[in-house]
Amino acid sequence: MHRDLKPDNILVAPNDCLEISDFGLSARVPKGVSIARWRITKESAGSPGYCAPEMISGSGSYGIKSDIFSLGLV
């Protein structure tokens, strides 16, 4: 899980493919756990303008769907 998708972290390669950068806040899904069901419960992370609501509030757990939300905002 990246946890900080925003325009500054999405680069255009010379072959016009998109590449994701800045994995400083990323989290690894534990082995044997389904990525669709994995959740992380920690303080809020990421850039406020591109975070899913559950990441901003810090009150709930968040997972891969939070990255999809951020990508939709980009």
**Tens-binned pLDDT, residue by residue, of the chain (74 aa):** 788 899 999 999 999 999 999 887 777 777 777 666 666 655 556 788 888 887 777 666 777 888 899 999 99
According to DSSP, residue 45 is labeled: -
User: CA 49 → CA 3, 4, 24, 45, 54, distances in Å?
Assistant: 13, 10, 18, 11, 13
Tell me if residue 4 is catalytic: yes
Place of tokens 């999405």: 10
pTM of the model: 0.71
Q: Amino acid identity of 37?
A: R
**H-helix or E-strand spanning residue 19:** strand 18-20
Of 4, 8, 16, 67, the active-site residue reads: 4
